[in-house]
Amino acid sequence: MSILERLLGASPEPSDTYSADTESVRRIVARLEALDPARARFIAAFAYILGRVANADLDISADESRSMEDLVRERGGLPEDQALLVVEIAKSQNRLFGGTENFLVTREFSEIASRQERLDLLDCVFAVSAADGSISVVEEEQARRIASELGLSHRQYVETRARYSAHRDVMKGFHDRSSRSEEG
């Protein structure tokens, strides 16, 4: 692959290593060449899924982007500049191919991640959704789909979601009414 192709983000030629990868994962992995290929695939899929929930309402806020960057840096063990690049590619790929690759990337992550890593990802999905102070109904539905595609149980989904109840749009009216009734 030429330098121009790399700068323009052209995908590497398919190989045995990348044969199961989606286009979105391949583009991010190409940017993480210094890492072990399996680790790069894991980080690429992780970042893409975070972008999936951030873009669920068709608007990725600055707070959601910062949350994604922090999570990719912390969980992926990447330096800040590399985490920023991975997140930007993940967001861009999600905007371009989200409708067609969401399930494929999530299924791929499910195949390469342990049960605990899948649970941790679900927690990160809710953290990104809550980063702007509000988890919309659309984001919550996307998180539910992600949990299902990761092979997590409904109970695991509900337990994770419960930690973010104060940010859920559907619960805000309930919390407001509860506060008023306690004051009165």
pLDDT tens, residue by residue, 98-140:
788 899 999 999 999 999 999 999 999 999 999 999 999 999 9
Domain CATH code at residue 47: 1.10.3680.10
Q: Which residues pair with 168 in a beta bridge?
A: 135
Give the whole-angstrom CA distance, residue 56 versus residue 104.
16
Residue 114 CB neighbour total at 10 angstroms: 8
Phi, psi of 5 (to 5 degrees): -60, -40
Domain holding 38, by residue range, is: 3-183
Q: How does residue 3 score in pLDDT terms, banded at 50, 70 and 90?
A: very low
- Range scoring the smallest mean pLDDT among 29-33, 49-53, 113-117, 148-152: 29-33
Amino acid identity at 131: A
**Does residue 133 sit in helix, strand or coil?**
coil
Classify residue 127 as left (phi > 0), alpha (psi -120 to 50) or beta.
alpha
* Number of structural domains found in the chain: 1
| Backbone dihedral angles phi then psi of residue 131, each to the nearest 5 degrees | -60, -30
* Under 8 Å between Cβ of 63 and 39: no
Quote the radius of gyration of the chain (alpha carbons, Å): 17
pLDDT at 35 (0 to 100): 82
CB 86, CB 44: distance < 8 Å: yes
The CA distance from 24 to 22, in Å, is 5
Alpha-helical (H) ranges within the chain are: 3-8, 23-31, 37-54, 62-76, 80-112, 115-130, 137-149, 154-162, 169-183
Global pTM exceeds 0.85: no
Element (H, E) at 117: helix 115-130
Tokens of 128: 């990104």
Take residue 78 and report the two structure tokens written for it.
Answer: 């990447």
What whole-number distance in Å separates Cα of residue 144 and Cα of residue 161? Answer: 9
pLDDT in tens, 57-78: 999 999 999 999 999 999 999 9
How much is the average pLDDT of 148-170? 96
